Amino acid sequence: MTSTTDGHLAADLDERRAGTSTPRFVAGKVGGALASLVLVVVLGFLLFRMIPGDPVATMTRDRPTSPEQLALLRERLGVDKPMWQQFLDYFGGLFQGDLGTSYMYSRPVADMIGERLGPTLLLVGTATVLAVLLGMWLGIRAAWKRDSAFDRVQTGVALTLWSVPQFWLGLLLLIATQGLFPSRGMRSPDVPEGFVAQSLDVAWHLTLPCVTLLAVIYAQYMLVMRSSLLEEMGSEYLTTARAKGLRDDLVRRRHAVPNALLPAVTLVFLQFGMVVSGTITVEAVFSWPGLGLLTYEALRGPDLPLLQGVFLVLAGSVIVMNLLAELLYRVLDPRVRAS
Amino acid sequence: MSPLLELRDLGVTYATGDGEVRAVRDVNLTLEPGETLGIAGESGSGKSTVALSVLRLLPRTARVSGEILLDGEDVTGMRWGRLRAVRWSSASVVFQGAMHALNPVRKVGEQIAEPIRLHTSLAEPKVAARVAELLEQVDLPPAKARSYPHELSGGQKQRVMIAMALACEPGLILADEPTTALDVVVQAQVLTLLSGLVAERGIGLVMITHDLSVLAATCARIAVMYRGEIVEQGPGSEVMGRPRHEHTRALAAAFPTVGDPVSRFAPATANPLPPEPAREEPDADAPGLLAARDLRVTFRDRDGRAVPAVAGVDLDVRRDEIVALVGQSGSGKTTLARTLLGLQRPTGGSVLYDGSLVPTSSAGLKEYRRQVQLVLQDPASALNPRHTVYEAVAEGPRIHGLPGDERELVLEALESAELRPAETYLARLPHELSGGQRQRVVIAGALALRPSVLVADEPVASLDASVRGEILGLLLRLRRELGLAALVITHDLGLAWNIADRVAVMYRGQLVEVGSVEQVLLEPRHEYTKSLLAALPMGTASAFERGV
């Protein structure tokens, strides 16, 4: 029994933990996301069938209609078919980009969502980018000077704004700015042609809804950045960095912040989907022609195909963003690559 | 010529919520170029504060008094710019790299290059060459520069830390617990490497650790710190061989020399040990109270390959005996313990308790686990921080529905774990207790069920030197007074020498050597046992006697 050699010992000490290969990891995550997406489709379909009330009766509530007309309408909308067949029609249609036809507007739902997607992305994208930049900058400063006046005031302000209802803040801003910015819509009718003029006009309209959204959502980025940086600040590798003779701001920029950023990045992506669904009130207040306003309109119907389509897009965006977060995290954190 | 480092009346005070805490008082130390000095002490003794104060790395709440002369220049009075220039180029630090001293998201080559770029004007291609050269000096292949810290083993990370410390060719290296959390074999390799490099280059070394035997092996002079003061200072052999201060004796006794008859069955405890009761000569053929027969546990890794963690183990723990299961991390000893407790399903073989197979039904397992209790390494995380001592100890009897008055049971268990008077501990929360007291509460929780076997996984590894002996003394006393059998899992051969009757040495999932403590530790037959013994910083007493 003398199988032990130095070679063996050295091999023991040199074990490297090999991670999953990247294609396999990506395939697994994408597969998981697709499965969630199918569940969302099924759930969306069932959910809106469970809403009480007859859509045909709702559509015709203000007009006298004969039973023949009602039957005709039912047939045209496809609600006379059995539930399973309705689902198969709907599911099959999805693969051709067909989300059904709106009851109220008699237009393809896919087209309507397509029109509204741009304005929402513009609003949510701008607000998120600004909120992330502002939140992280404030979070880093607050953590680095923990318990300072700056830290206390900024944390307090952020938390207050976070707890304010969006519509209320929107209305307040409208009153406070006294007509400095337009109160509704995305474009003015009398703006000359040309990219620059048009862009400026959109930006002018964008200001208030964007500020409203930004003010409410930046707190979470700030607080996550602050707490994750605070957690890193006790780390020994920062003492190593200081011992090397690095300046304080280099210690922070090169060593502390990259580590603290990891949880914050995940949050940014996870929250993006939530922020999209959260724009309903802001878009309603400022009549911003986006998905939120569309949802609001669809709810008044209720316009089932439209609601179903919006639900699918909103839930789908959460899933896609979640997937992106996981893929990005793998790029950012070498430890995730290994385990 | 001025000394390399001179501390004059160094004092450090921390401002805390409850007033000022004097962490370091009146410390005077001198280090000439090329000298090695060891500072020993347990956690809270102020030894790390001394090391960090040399480069002014203490937190803002610390106030430093006295003088810290580095190459004759007072560090305490330096401007920030001068201080940053001195850091790492005059004195560098080897932290406990095995843990978190390296930035987890940057490649180690980058981290080694960072101080080179900062302190020298070396051209970029030369920086890369210098990093490769440094890695070679610490016996790592230069390709490791492209690795992230988590891809390296603990020993390799520590080598990276040493390479980093050498990067700017400083005159002084401060090593703060450089080998804690490393296995004995790796510890020996790292210590040899560090002392070799330091001696070769004439670098002054200050080594800080709680383990006196590490210092004795590497440092010419040793200073012992206790409660912020240096209580003893002198040549290494003298401090180790003839400790004058009481605390030095406690530190030295905590790391007993294997083979020294004085420390056999004599852990460093203040309470007297009961005499050895008359024990029957065990029947070597009968299975023990707790026994494993050809036990196998195989895990599957990500690619579906079989990884044997426990590969055919036969082990007996008899009534009235303490068995030490020794091996380095990754040897499978914790998996073996988990399987014995029924926490891990074996792939093959069997576990026997009192001669019969351990049941697999949940009711049967519950009854079995009352008999065989587990004590974990870290009492701080083994106890629920919101549960009082009473609740922590009473939980087991409640789950098992033990008859009798609950309060009586708890008091009795606390008494057995030597928390006296037991009443005063009932309402306390874990954070109000010291590390040693917490571990006693964990043991009391196990004793409350009146088990017949304790399985203790590294029961003293996270405890301070002076507390270690007390906990080991408790285990020995429980065995002698109550006949409680124990399987103690450890990487520490000195612990086995201190309290165990028999030793089982585990290597790569197999027991390569099992026998009485004297037989295995003094006349090892297997190569692996020999390499473990050879890696002990102090060697063994028998080696001393032979004049090796």
B527:A255 CB<8 A:
no
Express each pLDDT in B87-122 by its tens digit.
999 999 998 766 688 998 899 999 999 999 999 998
Which pLDDT value is given to residue B112?
A: 95
Interchain CB contact of A202 with B (< 8 Å): no
Is the pLDDT at A136 greater than 90? The verdict is yes
Which pLDDT value is given to residue A158?
A: 93
Express each pLDDT in B113-168 by its tens digit.
999 999 999 899 999 999 999 999 999 999 999 999 888 888 889 999 999 999 99
- Taking the model in full, what pTM does it have? 0.77
Compute CA distances B234 → A179, B221, B222, B443, B523, whole Å.
Answer: 83, 6, 6, 39, 34
Write out chain B residues lying below 8 Å of A13, CB-based. 153, 155-156, 186
Taking phi first (over 0 means left), then psi (-120 to 50 degrees means alpha), and beta for anything else, what does residue B459 get? alpha
Interchain CB contact of A20 with B (< 8 Å): yes
Pairing of strands B290-300, B5-16: unpaired
Out of A168-177, B179-188, B444-453, B515-524, pick the least confident: B179-188
Express each pLDDT in A267-319 by its tens digit.
888 788 778 877 888 898 999 999 888 988 888 877 888 888 988 888 888 89
Average pLDDT over every residue of B443-465? 88
Express each pLDDT in B222-279 by its tens digit.
999 998 999 999 998 888 878 888 888 888 777 777 888 888 888 877 777 888 887 7
Write out chain B residues lying below 8 Å of A253, CB-based. none
Residue bearing the bigger pLDDT, A130 or B246: A130
Percentage of chain B surpassing pLDDT 70? Answer: 95
Q: Which of A11, A17, A9, A10 is nearest to B512 (CA)?
A: A9
ipTM confidence? 0.75
Residue bearing the bigger pLDDT, A109 or B213: A109
Write out chain B residues lying below 8 Å of A261, CB-based. none
Residue bearing the bigger pLDDT, A332 or B70: B70
A237:B330 CB<8 A:
no
Is the pLDDT at A339 greater than 70? The verdict is no
Distance from CA of A247 to the nearest CA of B (A): 7
Out of A62-76, B397-411, B426-440, pick the least confident: A62-76
For residue B88, give the nearest of A3, A243, A262 by CB distance: A243
B302:A4 CB<8 A:
no
Interchain CB contact of A253 with B (< 8 Å): no
Is the pLDDT at B433 greater than 80? The verdict is yes
Asked whether the beta carbons of B161 and B94 are under 8 A apart, the reply is: yes
Residue bearing the bigger pLDDT, A177 or B536: A177
Write out chain A residues lying below 8 Å of B105, CB-based. 258-259, 262, 332-335
On the 0-12 / 13-18 / 19+ scale of CB atoms within 10 A, A87 is: middle
How far does CA B2 lie from the centroid of its chain? 37
Where are chain A's structural domains?
112-338
- Would you state the structure tokens that stand for residue A183, as one six-digit string? 């109160």
d(CA A142, CA A242): 20
A237:B185 CB<8 A:
no
Express each pLDDT in B164-201 by its tens digit.
999 999 999 999 988 877 777 888 888 899 999 888 99
Interchain CB contact of A333 with B (< 8 Å): yes
Which pLDDT value is given to residue B367?
A: 87
Out of A68-72, A137-141, B253-257, B544-548, pick the least confident: B544-548
d(CA B475, CA B500): 10
Q: Which CATH class is domain A112-338?
A: mainly alpha
Is the pLDDT at B54 greater than 50? The verdict is yes
d(CA B138, CA A68): 91
Give chain B's mean pLDDT: 87
Residue B515: strand, helix, or coil:
strand
Is the sign of the CA dihedral A27, A29, A31, A33 positive or negative? negative
Residue bearing the bigger pLDDT, A6 or B248: B248
Express each pLDDT in A227-241 by its tens digit.
999 988 888 899 999
Q: What does chain A come to in residues?
A: 339
Which pLDDT value is given to residue B1?
A: 64
Which pLDDT value is given to residue B167?
A: 93
d(CA B41, CA B224): 6
**CA of B112: which chain A residue's CA is closest?**
A244
A240:B93 CB<8 A:
yes
d(CA B75, CA B329): 41
Which pLDDT value is given to residue B285?
A: 66
Taken in order of first residue, the domains within chain B and their CATH numbers are: 100-169 (no CATH), 290-545 (3.40.50.300)
Beta bridge partners of A174: none
For residue A1, give the nearest of B106, B114, B526 by CB distance: B526
Write out chain A residues lying below 8 Å of B55, CB-based. 243
